[in-house]
């Protein structure tokens, strides 16, 4: 079946089309530049941008796949988690198309979509797999026995998300928003070895994370330097900060695989675009005999194809469609693949 996926949980309007694990098209319109001057996403601005971008993005996706709206067999849409007003635009659009085309509608979980998208690049996800989800709003380890029906939360951040830490530290270093890409670039020119930043919850036996202490440590370090009037070694700070983040992420991900006897690790979400995270994960997985899957960076950040990919799983599992009174859920828990 041909699945249409619609994403609007944050600042990307995404529409994708898939058939099973085959990606047919993926169109994204982002309002990130409109938020950059505020240093973070402004919900009202995001909602309005979704409203304007939704229909043109959908038509570009259909054109890209060379299909007509009438060819679509089912519609999947992000029902949560995310920003209330932003989610509402996608869910309303999806309901309208489902009603007009008389096709089933599935309100799905954005976070599980971040994991499901890997299937479009690497084929069916082996069962079970551990997933490290690292994004702007989440940092979680998941035990995925089945993408459509059985996703268990093993651990979560107790404070900031990894992407949030990148964005906050970028601000401290006067780098632009969103902070992930510029820190990734700066760190490549830096040497992490001269500065040590704390690894939150290191070796505590849980699969939880903490990044607020790291952010505070970077802030202290920067303040101290500024007080003495010395120039900031931005590349070195970026490299040391990044090393602290990816060290603890990869260690806990490998530990989770070992603890559950799982051979496959998938890393996804916006921070999975990070070059150092990808390199260190490869190194540590190879050493531990774990097979690593990381989708290409474009699929790691928010898009509609990831929602279509999860929709395809849900349809294949024969789960019941959502009704037209499907509600958005800003705090949809990751274990709930389909919104209630
Ligand atoms: P969520 O999925 O939790 O709702 P979100 O959808 O806003 O949050 P994503 O779009 O998946 O998050 O990811 C955005 C985050 O990824 C931002 O915090 C951004 O800084 C970070 N990011 C993007 N590229 C990189 C990179 N190369 N290195 C590190 N972080 C990155
Ligand atoms: Mg975004
Ligand atoms: Fe996301």
**Which secondary-structure segment (H or E) carries 81?**
none
Per the DSSP assignment, residues forming a β-bridge with 322 are 105
Distance CA 228, CA 257 (A): 45
Where the chain has pLDDT below 50, the residues are none
Model pLDDT, residue 320? 98
Burial class (CB in 10 A: 0-12, 13-18, 19+), 129: buried
- Per-residue pLDDT of 65-90, as tens digits, reads 999 999 999 999 999 999 999 999 99
CA of 1 to the centre of ligand 1 (A): 30
Check pocket membership of 295 for ligand 1, CB cut-off 6 A. no
- CA dist 302 and 312 (Å) reads 17
Smallest-distance ligand from the CA of 11:
2
pTM: 0.96
8 Å CB contact between 293 and 118? yes
Q: How many CB atoms lie within 10 A of CB 213?
A: 16
How far is the centre of ligand 3, averaged over its atoms, from the C-alpha of 81 (Å)? Answer: 9
Look at residues 81, 24, 215, 136 and name the one whose alpha carbon lies nearest to residue 16: 24
Ligand 1: which residue has its CA nearest to atom 15?
136
Q: Compute the distance from residue 63 Cα to the ligand 1 centre, in Å.
A: 28
Q: What is the pLDDT of residue 163?
A: 97
User: Of 238, 301, 329, which is best to mutate to test ligand 1, by the most ligand atoms within 8 angstroms of its C-beta?
Assistant: 301
CB atoms within 10 A of CB 325: 6
Query: Is 82 labeled as ligand-binding?
Result: no
Ligand 1 pocket residue status of 179, Cβ below 6 Å: yes
Helices (H) and strands (E) in the chain — how many of each? 12, 10
Residue 193, phi then psi, degrees to nearest 5: -70, -25
Is the beta carbon of 180 within 6 A of some atom in ligand 1? yes
Ligand found nearest the CA of 135: 1
| Residue 201 φ/ψ region, left for φ over 0, alpha for ψ in the -120 to 50 degree band, beta for the rest | left
Answer whether 307 contacts ligand 1 (Cβ < 6 A).
no
Q: Are 295 and 120 in contact (CB under 8 A)?
A: yes
Q: Is the CB of 273 under 6 A from ligand 1?
A: yes
pLDDT at position 113 is 98
Mean pLDDT of the chain: 97
Check the annotation: does 110 bind a ligand. yes
- Of ligand 1's listed atoms, the one at least distance from the Cα of 275 is 27
Tokens 């982002």, residue?
A: 30
Nearest ligand to the CA of 269 is 1
């Amino acid at each position: 079946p041909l699945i249409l996926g619609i994403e609007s949980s944050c600042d990307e309007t995404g529409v994708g089309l898939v058939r099973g694990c085959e990606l047919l098209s993926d169109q994204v319109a982002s309002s990130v530049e409109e938020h950059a001057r505020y240093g973070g996403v402004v919900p009202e601005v995001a909602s309005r941008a979704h409203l304007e971008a939704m229909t043109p993005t959908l038509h570009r996706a259909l054109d890209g796949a060379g299909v007509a709206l009438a060819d679509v067999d089912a519609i999947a849409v992000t029902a949560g988690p995310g920003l209330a007003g932003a989610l509402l635009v996608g869910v309303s659009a999806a309901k309208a198309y489902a009603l007009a085309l008389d096709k089933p509608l599935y309100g799905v979980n954005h976070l599980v979509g971040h994991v499901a998208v890997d299937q479009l690049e690497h084929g069916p996800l082996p069962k079970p797999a551990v997933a490290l989800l690292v994004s702007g709003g989440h940092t979680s380890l998941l035990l995925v026995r089945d993408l459509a029906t059985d996703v268990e939360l093993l651990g979560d951040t107790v404070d900031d998300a990894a992407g949030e830490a990148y964005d906050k530290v970028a601000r401290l270093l006067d780098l632009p928003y969103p902070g992930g890409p510029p820190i990734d670039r700066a760190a490549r020119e830096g040497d992490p070895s001269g500065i040590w930043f704390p690894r939150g919850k290191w070796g505590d036996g849980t699969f939880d994370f903490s990044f607020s202490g790291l952010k505070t440590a970077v802030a202290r370090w920067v303040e101290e330097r500024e007080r003495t009037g010395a120039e900031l070694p931005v590349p070195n700070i970026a490299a040391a900060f990044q090393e602290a983040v990816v060290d603890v992420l990869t260690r806990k991900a490998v530990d989770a695989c070992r603890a559950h006897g799982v051979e496959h690790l998938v890393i996804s979400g916006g921070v999975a675009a990070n070059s150092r995270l990808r390199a260190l994960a490869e190194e540590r997985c190879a050493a531990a005999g774990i097979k690593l899957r990381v989708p290409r960076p474009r699929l790691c950040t928010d898009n509609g194809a990831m929602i279509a990919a999860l929709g395809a799983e849900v349809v294949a599992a024969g789960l019941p469609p959502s009704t037209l009174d499907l509600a958005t859920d800003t705090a949809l828990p990751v274990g709930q693949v389909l919104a209630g």
